Amino acid sequence: MQTILVTGGCGFIGAHTIVDLIEHGFNVISVDNLSRASDKSLLGIEKITGKKIKNYTIDLTDKVATESIFKENPNITGIIHFAAYKAVGESVEKPLDYYENNLCSLVNLLQMAVKYNAPHFIFSSSCTVYGNPETIPVTEETPLQTATSPYGATKQMGETIIKDTAFTYPLSTILLRYFNPVGAHPSIAIGELPIGRPQNLVPAITQTAIGKLPMMQVHGSDYDTRDGSCIRDYIHVCDIAHAHTLAIQYSIKNNKPKSCEVFNLGTGNGITVLEAIKAFEKVSGVQLNYEIGPRRAGDIVSIYANNDKAVNQLGWKCKYGLEEMMLTAWQWEQSLSK
Ligand code: WQD
């Protein structure tokens, strides 16, 4: 049974990916310093899979602590690296925290991957690397634009660090560019746990619907889109999770040292904010209390994926539609209030 180290394993996408890896026969170890996540996720994973996952609560910017994981687990085949700060607004307020945390942890992990021969390295990247693309849908060849936040810059720099490392060392690396991950595992045993007031659309919707927030704002309805609100590619977190299992299987099967491949993980469907709200109201039966507010600084008008490469090369197929994304997000929010 091959062992995969999942960093950020207690986080939203990390926990869902651990479930999928276990269901596809992998042994999994997690490392998460719980600075942005709760180890309650491990209980949810155990509820779904019956497996107790070991989590190392260490800081990956600490090289000695990071190496201790590899000394204790010499049989790690691959690494799926989620652990990073990811709040766009916070990254503008605290850029050095973001550069130190997101980049030092990555460098430490890559050094261990080389030193301990864990050659398969999957990196959690983001559509944010495309900036405000000239043409949509974006393919993996769409030129990147200058990042519009330190968070986005750490993803672009992370991709460059990995590409350069794979050029020199015998690692087989894959960069997965997520679009907008939403929803929760159908068991409702794991889901998204935003810290503080949610910045992202779907948690803002569900927290408003359940009454945690009195109202939510639609950030602008005067954009040049079919209903004036921004367009994004919302994708179910379980579809994102399964893509990681397929990516690690692809990497192990092809066994291409010194390689770095990029895949877009989006559904290929662009959905407006108002359409997302309508889909939520339909599946939840809740009339959402929202108002149209001013545009949010830094928002791009429209982005969604061309996912042909992941479909054709990884054999990936999105299983969940927008209504299931909204329904599972809603059921998860309701479960938090029990
Ligand atoms: C989506 C749309 C908002 C909240 C960010 C990161 C990206 C990735 C996903 C990590 C926008 C609108 C939102 C609200 C609103 N994260 N909105 N009212 O900005 O596309 O992407 O999260 O990888 O890197 O940049 O996602 O969910 O914040 O916003 O109208 O209360 O919803 O203006 O148009 P975004 P989002």
User: For 205-222, what is each residue's pLDDT tens digit?
Assistant: 999 999 999 999 999 999
**32 CA distance to ligand 1 centroid (A)?**
24
The answer to whether residues 50 and 28 touch, using CB atoms and an 8 Å cutoff, is no
Q: How confident is the model at residue 338 (pLDDT cuts 50, 70, 90)?
A: confident
> What does the pLDDT read at residue 84?
98
Ligand 1 pocket, 238 CB below 6 A?
no
How many degrees, rounded to 5, is the angle at CA 198 between CA 193 and CA 202?
A: 80
Q: Is the dihedral of CA 192, 197, 200, 201 positive or negative?
A: positive
> What does the pLDDT read at residue 195?
87
Q: How confident is the model at residue 106 (pLDDT cuts 50, 70, 90)?
A: very high
Ligand 1 pocket, 84 CB below 6 A?
no
Nearest to 263, CA basis, from 278, 280, 251, 281: 251
Beta strands in the chain (DSSP E): 3-7, 27-31, 55-56, 76-81, 120-126, 172-178, 180-182, 216-219, 231-232, 234-236, 259-265, 271-272, 290-293
**93 CA distance to ligand 1 centroid (A)?**
18
**102 CA distance to ligand 1 centroid (A)?**
20
| Residue 332 pLDDT greater than 90, yes or no | yes
Rounded mean pLDDT, 178-196: 96
Scan for tokens 């904010």, then name that residue: 273
> What does the pLDDT read at residue 129?
96
Ligand 1 pocket, 232 CB below 6 A?
yes
End-to-end CA distance of the chain: 38
- For residue 154 the two structure tokens come to 């750490």
> What does the pLDDT read at residue 104?
98
Mean pLDDT computed over every residue of the chain? 97
Ligand 1 pocket, 278 CB below 6 A?
no
Residue 256 CA to chain centroid, in angstroms? 25
Answer yes or no: 304 catalytic.
no
How many percent of the chain have pLDDT more than 70? 100
DSSP state of 293: E
**201 CA distance to ligand 1 centroid (A)?**
6
Single out the catalytic residue among 151, 178, 304, 320. 151
Pocket test for ligand 1, best of 177, 296, 303, 322 (most atoms within 8 A of CB): 296
Q: How confident is the model at residue 334 (pLDDT cuts 50, 70, 90)?
A: very high
Beta-bridged to residue 207, according to DSSP, are: none
Q: How confident is the model at residue 99 (pLDDT cuts 50, 70, 90)?
A: very high
**Each residue's pLDDT tens digit, 23-65:** 999 999 999 999 999 999 999 999 999 999 999 999 999 999 9
Ligand 1 pocket, 199 CB below 6 A?
yes
Rounded mean pLDDT, 315-324: 98
Rounded mean pLDDT, 131-157: 95
Q: Which domains does the chain have, with CATH numbers?
A: 3-183+236-266+306-316 (3.40.50.720)
| Residue 137 pLDDT greater than 90, yes or no | yes
> What does the pLDDT read at residue 95?
97
Rounded mean pLDDT, 119-131: 97
Query: Which ligand 1 atom minimizes the distance to the CA of 151?
Result: 24
The one-letter amino acid code at 311 reads: V
**Each residue's pLDDT tens digit, 9-20:** 999 999 999 999
**200 CA distance to ligand 1 centroid (A)?**
5
The one-letter amino acid code at 41 reads: S
Q: How confident is the model at residue 321 (pLDDT cuts 50, 70, 90)?
A: very high
Rg over CA atoms, the chain: 19
